[in-house]
Amino acid sequence: MTVRTPAGQPSREPLLQQVHLAVCFPGGGDTTAGADFASYERLARTAERGLFDFLLLAEEPRPAGPRGRIPDLDLDLDLGLDLDPDAAGRPEPVTVLNALVALTERIGLAATVDTAFNEPYELARRLATLDHLSAGRAAWNVAASTDLLARVAEFLDVSRELWDSWTPDGIVRPFAHRGQYFDIAGEFTVPRSPQGHPVVIRPCDDSPQGREFAASTADVILTRHGAPEAARALYAEVKGRLATYGRDRADLKIMAEATVVLGDTAAEAWQRAAGAGASDGRRSFVGTPESVAAEIDDSVRTGAADGFVLVPHPAPGGLDAFVDRVVPLLQERGAFRAEYAGTTLRSHLGLRDPVWKG
Amino acid sequence: MTPPNGRGLLHLAAAVDQAAAHDDVSVHVELTRLAESGGFDFVTLGDSFARPGFDALAVLARVAPATARIGLVPTVTTTHTEPFQVQAAVATLDRVSRGRAGWCIDVSTTEGEARLFGRRHAAPVDTLWHEAGQVADVAARLWDSADQGNAHPGHSPVRVVDATDRHARATAARYADVALVQGTNPGQVGAIRAELQASALAHGRDPDELRVLAALTVDLGDGERAAEPGHGGGGPRQTAQGPLYRGGPVDLAELIAAWHETGAADGFHLTPVEPRRDLERLVNGTAALLQHRGLLRTFYPGSTLREHLGLGRPAHRYAVTGGTS
């Protein structure tokens, strides 16, 4: 039997404000269609060497068509039509992460999966399987390309009902859910997973409803605010909403997407940054390792974010310089872990295990 | 390399399913490595929404980096999952295993499984297999179109269909690269093989591009002395779970060589009743003997599952190009 990892309850608020770090693949605007498995392996190993909280795999846009579906198979039509040749062979994040489980030990593994193209039963099963195989390192970045927020919310509710349908001591109980969008019943095939629920990440939606939804239900939200003032305002607002839902400020981590350009001198870094192109609205850290480490530490101390999701340059080695030169400086400042304290992603992020709702 | 009997090399596959529902994945890794050390073409791992268990494709994705050459074939059901998701997961297993993926195509027939999704009622089995064939076809077309720009074309994941159920046979004949068939003697297996080949030809396929493996459950627990009437050297016995061979690894090698000699099957898909015990005996007893006789590979000359099986382009290409590859 799979042994449940004794994650323990992480300490809630460390003495010093700790920075959380993650990396996003792919790192640039390039398609991942050509990315071979070795490039995932390289990035995962580098990020784990840097003691990052998690690796996040993005999802490519779907081919065109109603809800992106391949033409209905019940119809007798030429299936050669409407198929986007670029769509095939694109990596499916959950499967890539299951393979990366074999090559990593501690780093969290986050998959971007769109609710619009999945059914709760199957997706919840695949995510629970990833959480088991990785001994508690799974996360789901809940993308919703075309779904209404209400459907996304119900999808997430159903998923959590399924994850809660086995008791913590391994007894399966039937579930039944009847809602506006889903009407399902039966038994879930996977026991409660090591983290209880995989970590739930939500990209920040700037609408008030989107922020409310994130505050009510997400474990991590991803933001893309370049200006520190705007980031601090968003941070304060979202954290301020948590109490309404009976949640502590530590129960939701706000992580901002960021790019980093390093140089031996500030001038060299800025020269490189000019060549690297726009940061696409993200926070951009440009400078020497010392100045970038200070800026990251300062951003977290002053309430702009709980951490950053780095979007490295897609070229090989894009993350190595950060891990080799900036991470040690963050550790010296006491702002970043010197080793992984726990084994689960929830423990890395300082998140409580979810309460089992029997 | 042609073995002494003038037929192609044997193709062996093994099931790595475990008896308990949620087993340690390290055992899947161990069993797959064992099968790889015996030169097997591929391992299979079953899946169903109707019983407890992990997602099989996920488990074999976890196994992939821990192995180097052997093919990895999870069961993938097509009834309730969007076709795009099906092909994306299978194609990604192929990517993370560097060309070693297959999928054992299956359908979900029960109302209980339908209720887990809440989108449709249970449908007639014939309808479900027709759909499964279309999903396989869509997937192959997508992969083929992606291959146009790929430096290593022809790595389309191998399609396996268990053709035991008559309802599955048309889909197997039309779309499968590998069909699994059951029989307690070469005559039965050969008859189903002939039926599948005739049907494949009728669909415009080259029948030689369909590999037919005889499916046997094997119990090597009591060794060579277990040969009782209807067992061991006498051949497998029909059970509710299909043909069961009970005996020793040496007699099993004799049986496999004899069936292969008749041309009834291209090889065998073996399901050990006690995976850790029986697979070890299969590899170190049965497979070693078959290798000694020159019937089974001693190393993998190729790196992809298609190469192990001696398969060229995906079958549907024959309909389009008339058989060049």
Measured between CA atoms, how close is A178 to chain B, in angstroms?
A: 10
- What proportion of chain B, given as a percentage, has pLDDT over 90? 78
Contact: B57, A89; criterion CB under 8 Å = no
- Alpha carbon dihedral A142, A145, A147, A152, in 10-degree steps, equals 10
Q: Where are chain A's structural domains? A: 20-349
Region of B201 on the Ramachandran plot (φ > 0 left; ψ -120 to 50 alpha; else beta): alpha
Which residue would you say has higher pLDDT here, B176 or A14?
B176
Site of tokens 């996360």: A139
Task: Work out how many CB contacts closer than 8 A connect A with B.
Answer: 161
What pLDDT does A146 receive?
78
Strand B237-239 and strand B242-246: the pairing is: antiparallel
Domain A20-349 has CATH 3.20.20.30: yes
Site of tokens 């939701």: A252
Distance (Å, rounded) from C-alpha A119 to C-alpha A136? 23
Chain-centroid distance, C-alpha B247: 23
What pLDDT does B142 receive?
83
Find out whether B46 and B77 touch, Cβ atoms under 8 Å.
Answer: no
Helix (H) or strand (E) holding B15: strand B11-15
Contact: B117, A119; criterion CB under 8 Å = yes
Quickly state the pLDDT bin for A145 (edges 50, 70, 90): confident
Mean pLDDT over residues B240-263, rounded?
93
Contacts of B20 in chain A (CB under 8 A): 1
Closest CA to A214 of A226, A225, A200: A200
Contact: B84, A89; criterion CB under 8 Å = no
Q: Hey, what are B323's tokens?
A: 């058989």
| Range with lowest mean pLDDT among A39-48, A145-154, A155-164, B306-315 | B306-315
Its pTM stands at 0.92
pLDDT at A76 over 60: no
Query: Which residues have a Cβ under 8 Å from the Cβ of A127 and sit 6 or more positions away?
Result: A94, A111, A113, A138, A140, A159, A198
Contact: A185, B115; criterion CB under 8 Å = yes
Closest CA to B159 of B55, B44, B66: B44
Q: Hey, what are A198's tokens?
A: 């995989």
Phi and psi, residue A192, nearest 5°: -50, 135
Distance (Å, rounded) from C-alpha B221 to C-alpha B274? 8
End-to-end CA separation in angstroms for chain A: 22
The 10s digit of each residue's pLDDT in B175-199 is 999 999 999 999 999 999 999 999 9
pLDDT at A24 over 70: yes
Q: Does A31 touch chain B (CB under 8 A)?
A: no
Q: Tell me which amino acid residue B192 is.
A: I
Question: Collapsing DSSP states into helix, strand and coil, what is residue B211?
Answer: strand
Quote the ipTM score: 0.92
Mean pLDDT over residues B24-53, rounded?
95
Contact: A129, B55; criterion CB under 8 Å = yes
Mean pLDDT over residues A29-36, rounded?
54
Contact: B53, A189; criterion CB under 8 Å = yes
- What proportion of chain A, given as a percentage, has pLDDT over 90? 68
Distance (Å, rounded) from C-alpha B271 to C-alpha A225? 56
Contacts of A74 in chain B (CB under 8 A): 131
Quickly state the pLDDT bin for B141 (edges 50, 70, 90): confident
Query: Which residues have a Cβ under 8 Å from the Cβ of B101 and sit 6 or more positions away?
Result: B60, B71, B72, B73, B90, B91, B93, B94, B157, B158, B305
| Range with lowest mean pLDDT among A159-163, B98-102, B300-304, B317-321 | B317-321
Helix (H) or strand (E) holding B320: helix B316-321
Q: Does B76 touch chain A (CB under 8 A)?
A: no
Chain-centroid distance, C-alpha A339: 21
Which residue would you say has higher pLDDT here, A28 or B181?
B181
Quickly state the pLDDT bin for A234 (edges 50, 70, 90): very high
What pLDDT does B325 receive?
34
* Closest chain B CA to residue A82: B142
